[in-house]
Amino acid sequence: MINFDFKTTITNVVKEEDLLQYKNKKNEIMESFQKCDMIGWDKNVSTDNINHIKQMMKEVKKNSSLLLVIGIGGSFLGSKALYDMFEHYFSDQFKVIYCGYSLSSNYLSDLLKLLKDKDFTVNVISKSGNTMEIKLAYNLIKGFMQEKYSEEEIKQRIIVTTGTSGYLYEEARTNNYRTLSIPDDIGGRYSMMTDAHLFPLSFNLDIEQLISGYNDGEVMKKEAYEYAIIRRSLFDKNKIIENYVSFEPKYEMFIEWLKQLFGESEGKNGKGIFPTSTIFTRDLHSLGQFIQEGNKILFETFIIVRQNSEINIDNTNLNNINNAVVDAVRNAHYKGNVAVNFIEIDKLNEYNMGLLIRFFFYSAAFSSLLFEVNPFDQPGVEVYKHEIKKSLENLK
Q: Which stretch in 17-25, 34-42, 113-121, 127-135 sits in contact with ligand PA5 by CB under 6 A?
A: 127-135
Q: Which stretch in 68-76, 239-247, 284-292, 302-310 sits in contact with ligand PA5 by CB under 6 A?
A: 68-76
Site membership for ligand PA5, residue 134 (CB under 6 A): yes
Site membership for ligand PA5, residue 73 (CB under 6 A): yes
Among 68, 72, 111, 210, binds ligand PA5 (CB under 6 A): 72
Beta carbon of residue 258, minimum distance to ligand PA5 (angstroms, whole number): 13
Q: Which stretch in 31-39, 67-75, 149-157, 301-309 sits in contact with ligand PA5 by CB under 6 A?
A: 67-75
What region, left, alpha or beta, does residue 269 occupy, with left being phi > 0 and alpha being psi -120 to 50 degrees? left
Residue sitting closest to ligand PA5 (CB): 188
Site membership for ligand PA5, residue 80 (CB under 6 A): no
Interaction mask 142-181, ligand PA5, x per CB under 6 A: ----------------------------------------
Site membership for ligand PA5, residue 268 (CB under 6 A): no
Among 8, 32, 121, 128, binds ligand PA5 (CB under 6 A): 128
Q: Which stretch in 80-88, 128-136, 270-278, 360-368 sits in contact with ligand PA5 by CB under 6 A?
A: 128-136
Of 231-260, binders to ligand PA5 (CB under 6 A) are: none
Q: Which of 226, 264, 266, 300 is catalytic?
A: 264
Site membership for ligand PA5, residue 187 (CB under 6 A): yes
Among 8, 64, 75, 352, binds ligand PA5 (CB under 6 A): 75
Calpha distance 356→343 (Å, rounded)? 9
Q: Is 264 part of the annotated catalytic residue set?
A: yes
Site membership for ligand PA5, residue 38 (CB under 6 A): no
Q: Is 333 part of the annotated catalytic residue set?
A: no
The rounded Cα 335 to chain-centroid distance in angstroms is 31
Beta carbon of residue 361, minimum distance to ligand PA5 (angstroms, whole number): 12
Contact, 373 vs 235, CB < 8 A?
no
Site membership for ligand PA5, residue 78 (CB under 6 A): no
Q: Is 385 part of the annotated catalytic residue set?
A: yes
What sign has the CA pseudo-torsion 79, 82, 84, 86?
Answer: negative
Calpha distance 181→195 (Å, rounded)? 6
Q: Measured from the CB atom, is 99 or 287 closer to ligand PA5?
A: 99
Contact, 126 vs 134, CB < 8 A?
yes
Beta carbon of residue 163, minimum distance to ligand PA5 (angstroms, whole number): 8
Q: Give the CA distances from residue 252 to residues 83, 84, 264, in Å, rounded to whole numbers and listed in that order.
A: 11, 8, 18
- Residue 21: CA count within 13 A, CB half-sphere: 7
How many residues touch ligand PA5 under the rule CB under 6 A: the total is 15
Q: Looking at the DSSP assignment, which residues form a beta bridge with residue 96?
A: 67
Calpha distance 83→197 (Å, rounded)? 10
Beta carbon of residue 261, minimum distance to ligand PA5 (angstroms, whole number): 8
Q: Measured from the CB atom, is 253 or 284 closer to ligand PA5?
A: 253
Q: Measured from the CB atom, is 269 or 309 closer to ligand PA5?
A: 269
Please state the length of the chain: 396
Among 74, 263, 275, 354, binds ligand PA5 (CB under 6 A): 74
Calpha distance 165→377 (Å, rounded)? 18
Residues marked active site are found at 264, 285, 385
Which chain residues interact with ligand PA5 by CB under 6 A?
Answer: 72-75, 126-128, 131, 134, 187-189, 264, 378, 381
